[in-house]
Structure 1
Amino acid sequence: MRIQMLAPQTQLRHKRLLSIAFPLIVANITTPLLGLVDTAILGRMGGLHYLAGAAVGSLIITQLYWVCGFLKMSITGLSAQADPTRAQSKVNVVVQGVLASILLAIVILLLNPLILKAGLWFVGEQGLTNQSTVDYFETRIWGAPAALTNLVLIGWLVGQQLTRSVLIIQVFTNIINIIASLVFVYFFDWGVTGVAAGTLVAEYASVVMCFSLVVKALSGQAYDLNLPNLASLLRLASLNANIFIRNLALQFTLAFVTLIGVGYGTEAAAMNAILMQFFSLIALGLDGIANAVESLVGRAKGQKDFVSLKKEVNTGLIWSSIIALLYTTVFYVFGDEILRLLSNNEDLFILFEDYHVLVLLLPLVSHWCFLFDGVYVGLTAGKTMRNTMLISTLCVFLPTYYLNNSSGNMALWLALLAFLASRGVLLWGDYYLNTRRYPHTRLFGQP
């Protein structure tokens, strides 16, 4: 589609969405680069247990923070809905979110021995690997207050459509992390602890950068730093609880695919790891569009501009569809080349032929749920996000897998595909039915 061929208002809408989405897509792309540097450092320490242990420790931390991603999602929606002409309403969202993040971080720090014990239980007894895991985790976990606060502040910036600031933060954090890790490992000789300490330093440096950009965004505007009232805290707690349950259900399905896939043998587990990388590539682009839609839909809801809201959703759907088609085209033309970048195992190349159609379908099916997740984050409609996720998990994902489990590992991916389709259809259906009866739709008052 050529944007210049569209009507002026429509053209402006498309350009605005892309200007918000593009920095987020670039920021998403930079994230895996940090993992590559950490892997390169750990892989040169002289023992595989360093790399394996840090990978396990990082996985435990990453999953923990991923589940806490409800903080970012809820604050993004509330930030977008805040009255742009009243700095106080925007500040109140920041204060609520930071308070919630600190309280949650305190709980995590108090429970960190149990969290580590649970993580090691899943891994099993691995000798030196377990010790490296402990060294990494016990250092990295002290970054929880910074990591969770960063989720809130980045969510607020996305809601304010300041996505270039988010890109700056991401690049800044990665640079600090890389420099600090190199210094701690090669100058101070801290080993695995040094890599974790490098990330720890980067997380706190990121908080400082985030706060400075939030203050800059509010400069010249009058506001007070007041503690939130009970009603606003209860609303935030309700919204966060619903998105938390949604995140747990999503995490369950992804963990199910990984863990059950291991039971089908080494080749199946390796293929699943490859397919998850294709899925991660899809998320880089589709997440950027979805995040842009979050801020635009939230702003339209906050201004009670229903006409603009529908137009923003339609614009987002157009670009989400375009990117999905691009992914499918790239995977069709270059799928084998991408696979060869990820592995040199000839057996996997043969096995990949059975999954190639599935890889082509993944973007076309999943972009609906990515896009409408963004819509419902912007609407802060946590109940709908929770309910559609639970229905898709319990009534679609699990039954599809068990009805097809004679197909082995393929059944897992058929179930995941059905799960993604179900989420997209349910969210779109709910949106369609509710927007037909605006202004009485429950979406506009739902926590």
Structure 2
Amino acid sequence: MQKTQPLTRASIFAQAWPIMLGQASVPLVGIVDAAVVGRTGDAAALAGVALGATIISMVFWSFGFLRMGMTGLTAQAEGSGDEREVAALLLRSLAIGAAIGFVLVLLQWPIGELAFALLAGGEEVSREAGGYVGARFFGAPAALCVFAINGWLLGLGRTRAALLLQVVMNIANIALDIGFVWGLGMGARGVGLGTAGAEWIALATGLVVATQIAGRSPFAIFRDLGASMVFDRAALARLFAVNRDLMIRTIALLFLFAWFANAGARLGAVTLAANHVLLQFVSVAAFVLDAFAFTAESRIGKAIGANSPQQFRRAIRLAGEFSLLGGVLLSLVFWLGGSAAIHAITTDPETRAIARDFLFFAALIPVLGMPSWLLDGIFIGATAGRALRNAAVISTLSYLALDFALRPHGNWGVWIAFTASYILRAAALGAHLPSLMHRISKRAPLAEAKPAE
């Protein structure tokens, strides 16, 4: 394993820039997905990709704890110098990801039917979305295992390796999408098949990368450590104790995004398509600023593993400086270049017009959302799942109440409520921050990181 770099602004940026490039390419794929379908001029197909992507995100990212929980636990294990536990965590998360993924493949029909019963889209949009969702489920085992590998890499601070994995997946995704949609005319289903294929390519790449970093293959790790350590009951109990709260947190936030998509769908396919175009801006901001949040996860986890309150506080300050600067710059870029980007993504005049009308909100979110993304990183690195869970549930419920209250204002109400949700989440997490800092300062163990009794 590599030696941890000193905690300076230069080391924070050196760790963050590969994540930034890799994360920026994730919404780039979403933009390409939208553009590949959007430039066919078929608003129903574009809306179908929007609705289908919402459903898949809600299902797959319900298990996002495989990424988030792994980052904090791996960083803490490395910070304490326990290399055997670092290796064992990789195998545990891969086994859990593969098992859950294959269950999702088996349950894709009832899950899809339930999702379409809950989300409004209209017959034509739902048909397009159904093709996308059905194709994406075949990539579920690979997608969840990639979550696990990414979490492990980020926990180790191996951000360049994580970048390589992300770039391979995104290039494969873009190439396959273009081939299936423009080459074979498969529409929304083609986008789903392209993404599923890219996830399997990414898994193969990730296993090679993990083998190089660990110095041996996952099979060799299992042989060396033995089943008794890899599947140790106390270690698994700790893993599930952390991940249980992270799963609830993730489901709450995914429900918030699904509700936002459904709110647009209630106003028609064109409004749904326009909101989906603007959501790509929000995704770019979230993924770019997550570079500093992910760096905070790793640095804070290592500070806790090394039992260093000073490093804990310094990690928060340095990551916060970069996050604030990044949020301001992104807001300016979106405001000045947003109209041109909208025209590049879709050719439909009505979709363009509605997206331009609400561009202000997409440009505002990088600044307003920055504190919530940074706080996520702080609490994930500390494996403080209870605080993350409570904040997500409270902010989601508050958002729903606000959305209902603002329904008479149409899409303006939809965007006001969605923008306010970032402020609500930051406030809810911020309320837990003094308690977390007090416990770290006193070098007290985090209750959330203990095995369940």
Report the TM-score range of the alignment, normalised by the length of the smaller protein: 0.7 to 0.9
Distance 1:163 1:230, change over 3 A: same
1:142 aligns with 2:144: no
2-structure distance, mates of 1:141, 1:437: 42
- How far 1:357 moved relative to its partner? 5.0
1:218 aligns with 2:214: yes
2-structure distance, mates of 1:323, 1:39: 25
**How many pairs are equivalent?**
435
1-structure distance, mates of 2:6, 2:233: 43
Greater Cα shift, 120-129 or 254-263: 120-129
Match of 2:320 among 308, 317, 322: 317
Match of 1:277 among 264, 275, 280: 280
2:67 maps to which residue? 72
Distance 1:320 1:58, change over 3 A: closer
- How far 1:304 moved relative to its partner? 1.0
2:236 maps to which residue? 233
Deviations 1:28-59 (A, max 9, x none): 23234545666677789999988777776555
Match of 1:203 among 179, 199, 205: 199
The DSSP-based 3-state class of the residue aligned with 2:434 is helix
Residue pair 2:339, 2:356 contacting (<8 A) in 1 also: no
- 1:145 alignment partner AA: P
1-structure distance, mates of 2:418, 2:258: 11
- 2:166 alignment partner AA: Q
Structure 1 residues not aligned, in runs of 5+: 1-9
Whichever of the two has the greater Rg, that structure is 1
2-structure distance, mates of 1:124, 1:12: 49
1-structure distance, mates of 2:405, 2:125: 41
1:171 aligns with 2:167: yes
2:10 maps to which residue? 15
- How far 1:215 moved relative to its partner? 2.0
2-structure distance, mates of 1:48, 1:357: 23
1-structure distance, mates of 2:178, 2:337: 35
- 2:149 alignment partner AA: L
1-structure distance, mates of 2:391, 2:19: 26
1:425 maps to which residue? 427
Distance 1:37 1:408, change over 3 A: closer
Residue pair 2:399, 2:420 contacting (<8 A) in 1 also: yes
1:7 maps to which residue? none
- How far 1:401 moved relative to its partner? 3.1
1:408 maps to which residue? 410
1-structure distance, mates of 2:107, 2:435: 43
Taking structure 1 as the reference length, the TM-score comes to 0.83
Match of 1:106 among 93, 102, 106: 102
Deviations 1:81-105 (A, max 9, x none): 1135332010121122112212212
1:5 maps to which residue? none
Structure 2 residues not aligned, in runs of 5+: none
The DSSP-based 3-state class of the residue aligned with 1:304 is coil
- How far 1:387 moved relative to its partner? 0.4
- 2:366 alignment partner AA: P
Residue pair 2:138, 2:196 contacting (<8 A) in 1 also: yes
The DSSP-based 3-state class of the residue aligned with 2:414 is helix
1-structure distance, mates of 2:55, 2:77: 34
2-structure distance, mates of 1:209, 1:425: 39
- How far 1:320 moved relative to its partner? 0.5
The DSSP-based 3-state class of the residue aligned with 1:28 is helix
Match of 1:328 among 331, 334, 359: 331
1-structure distance, mates of 2:406, 2:63: 33
Residue pair 2:58, 2:251 contacting (<8 A) in 1 also: no
Distance 1:272 1:140, change over 3 A: closer
- How far 1:376 moved relative to its partner? 0.8
Match of 2:260 among 254, 257, 281: 257
Greater Cα shift, 404-413 or 285-294: 404-413
Taking structure 2 as the reference length, the TM-score comes to 0.82
2:296 maps to which residue? 293
- 1:417 alignment partner AA: T
